[in-house]
Amino acid sequence: MTHHREEFVRIPESDLEGMLPDTLAVRAGQLRTAQLEHSDAIFPTSSFVYGSAAQAAARFGGEEPGNIYSRFTNPTVQAFERRIAAMEGGERAVATASGMAAILSTCMALLQSGDHVVCSRGVFGTTSALFHKYMAKFGVTTTFVSLVDGEEWASAVRPETRMLFVETPSNPLCEVADMESLAKLAHENDALFIVDNCFCTPVLQRPLDYGADIVIHSATKYLDGQGRCVGGVVVGPDKLLEPVYGFLRSAGPTMSPFNAWVFHKGLETLPIRMRAHCENALELAEWLEQQPEVEHVYYTGLESHPQHAIAKKQQKGFGGMLSFCLRGGRNEAWRFIDATRMISITANLGDVKTTITHPATTTHGRLSPEDKSAAGITESLVRLSVGIEAVDDLKTDLQRGFQALQNASNT
């Protein structure tokens, strides 16, 4: 029987080989049902039925592939996993209930009591808490070092070190790691190199191409792009992802079909969104540098950024995240933030809507004063997740903050 092209339920992976992330974001991981729908279907079901008791036994016993229970096998979730894996250049992806669940699942699957982790200081505050407070309960110790100081990384490695973990660019100071150097250090010491690629996404940066073993995302951020759902994903080779999948199957921090469908659709516009984020953020960063109330701007696209050259090498764009220090302290930062009217005061990032927050009292508020100081989280620091609104309108709203500071200084 001759099959027409539209009769294929799934586009063969070989047909997409060599295609660019822009195309993979739209076409990879597409699964059509017998209805041949053009948009992706959603499978909101907890369980699946079998043709016979023998087939059920074969599925549960791993002798026959197929869906069993949506905690660990769901077609919608698998479609999202295939798409993000293709975009990152990984063999496999495992979707999780949140970005933190992705990090936890990776650690629980690949570390054991007595192991040691070296982690960059500039990670998300909750990531730091996960290693410092909770993994330590299971006998896993962590040393925090400067993301950009190679000597600190090398000095921190021990015989029992099994993982090097980074966010690059970092949150919120936008420091950039030399991934090839850290990958080399990890592999020379029989350790894994794990990269949180939340800020750049595979559109701007593919850590696996620079030696990373595993890439982690909070899908809540740019992969969705509209602040609708919470989720995470782990990407890498099958031999490392199988234990992660096994942990999810047993422990259950898995992604719901509805959230997977939202993320799957969000990926379709990720390339064009990231280009808009990059364009707006660069213009705002250059504008902020000119404001007398600003002491310093942290954005990898600025030539003044100390890791601008390595960012230019590793990234296809500089992203939508930036932060800046105002002259003064917490009072000035809060006064500036409160004076804005359009920009959303929220700690979420990666949204098409620009958001603003005070890291020292929100995202990194649970860190000790000493840890904040070591990470460069000052009371005068303000973080912007630059959206895709008209950039002149964003400047107008931020100007309200500067006007509030000027009015306060004149009284």
Residues 6+ apart with CB under 8 A from 171: 122, 123, 124, 198, 199, 321, 359, 363, 383
- Output the CA torsion sign for 127, 132, 134, 135: positive
> What are the tens digits of pLDDT across the range 15-51?
888 888 899 999 898 888 877 888 888 999 999 999 9
pLDDT of residue 212: 98
* Rounded Cα gap, residues 215 and 220, in angstroms: 15
∠ at Cα 129 (127, 132), nearest 5°? 110
* Rounded Cα gap, residues 364 and 377, in angstroms: 8
* Rounded Cα gap, residues 67 and 46, in angstroms: 10
Q: Assign 292 to helix, strand or coil.
A: coil
pLDDT of residue 409: 87
* Rounded Cα gap, residues 283 and 393, in angstroms: 12
> What are the tens digits of pLDDT across the range 231-289?
999 999 999 999 999 999 999 999 999 999 999 999 999 999 999 999 999 999 999 99
Question: 252 or 12, which is more confident?
Answer: 252
Question: pLDDT > 70: what percent of the chain?
Answer: 97
Does residue 270 contact residue 222 with C-beta atoms inside 8 Å? Answer: yes
How long is the chain? 411
Q: What's the pLDDT band for 402 if we cut at 50, 70, 90?
A: very high
Domains along the chain?
Answer: 13-42+74-268 (3.40.640.10), 271-409 (3.90.1150.10)
pLDDT of residue 142 exceeding 80: yes
What CA–CA distances, in Å, run from 393 to 172, 345, 386? 23, 16, 12
Q: Assign 216 to helix, strand or coil.
A: strand
pLDDT of residue 299 exceeding 70: yes
Backbone conformation region of residue 251, classed left if phi is above 0, alpha if psi is from -120 to 50, else beta? alpha
pLDDT of residue 410 exceeding 90: no
Instruction: Please give the helix or strand (H or E) that residue 373 lies within, else none.
Output: helix 369-375
pLDDT of residue 1: 45
In degrees rounded to 5, what are phi and psi of residue 10?
A: -135, 135
> What are the tens digits of pLDDT across the range 325-348?
999 999 999 999 999 999 999 999
Tokens representing 40 are 């992706």
pLDDT of residue 9: 59
- The reported pTM is 0.93
β 232-236/116-120 pair status: unpaired
Q: Over the chain, what is the mean pLDDT?
A: 94
pLDDT of residue 320 exceeding 60: yes
pLDDT of residue 411 exceeding 80: no
Question: pLDDT > 90: what percent of the chain?
Answer: 85
Residue with tokens 């040393």: 143
* Rounded Cα gap, residues 44 and 257, in angstroms: 6
Determine how many CB atoms are found less than 10 A away from the CB of residue 209: 13
What CA–CA distances, in Å, run from 20 to 87, 192, 203? 8, 27, 9
Radius of gyration of the chain (CA): 22
* Rounded Cα gap, residues 142 and 103, in angstroms: 14
> What are the tens digits of pLDDT across the range 70-107?
999 999 999 999 999 999 999 999 999 999 999 999 99
Does residue 84 contact residue 216 with C-beta atoms inside 8 Å? Answer: no
Mean pLDDT along residues 174-199? 98
Buried b (16+ CB within 10 A) or exposed e, 132-145: beebeeeebbbbbb
